[in-house]
Amino acid sequence: MADSLFDTLQSQAYKAGITPRSKESMAWFRKKLKSMTDINRQRLLKDPAVSKQSTPKPGDMYMFFYDAKHKAKLPYYDQFPLIILADDAKGGFYGLNVHYLPLTLRAKFFDSLLETVSDKRYNEQTRFRARYKALKSVQKLKYFKPCFKHYLSSQVQSGIVKVEPSEWEIAMFMPVQQFKGASDRQVWKDSKDMIG
């Protein structure tokens, strides 16, 4: 059986002597994944390293295909969000879609978010503590503003796939965002302006 993309990248990082969840590791994955422009999103959702989730839980990371209900009124939206589920919401859920941040700010945000995890084992029990109230009150987490989105369950166009904690770092830097209505560069510029 062929290794999954996650397994392959973890193996390469290990061989390079990279310590997981360190600044060095984030920089390595960011550089490695930036050069990967042809990741197949459909195949990624079928990757054995990720698992389908029937009931998403706050604090977990997920990816899925999405078709915004009010897309005609939106300046842009991401068709392939990578979110940290923040809370339940009317008709769906709130999520932090990290794709709205350029890679350097994404790395800073991820670093701050790692300080909120429930434990340092990075197993299936580990979750982010990413509720709206907490995000709003911690200055280091200010990067959440452009990422905080309301997703309607009826508009999810695929299975919602959980990214396991051991894979968070890889998923965080994968170039799989799929913005409709604007380029990545424009979205990231707007996000920087929103953060201030």
- pLDDT tens across 149-182, in order? 999 999 999 888 888 898 898 889 888 899 999 9
Q: What is the pLDDT of residue 35?
A: 61
First to last CA, the chain: 47
Residue spans of the domains in the chain: they are 5-195
Tell me the two tokens of residue 135.
């995000």
- pLDDT tens across 94-134, in order? 999 999 999 889 989 998 999 999 999 999 899 999 888 88
Q: How far apart are the C-alpha atoms of 182 and 35, rounded to whole Å? A: 21
Q: How far apart are the C-alpha atoms of 12 and 28, rounded to whole Å? A: 10
Q: How far apart are the C-alpha atoms of 144 and 95, rounded to whole Å? A: 10
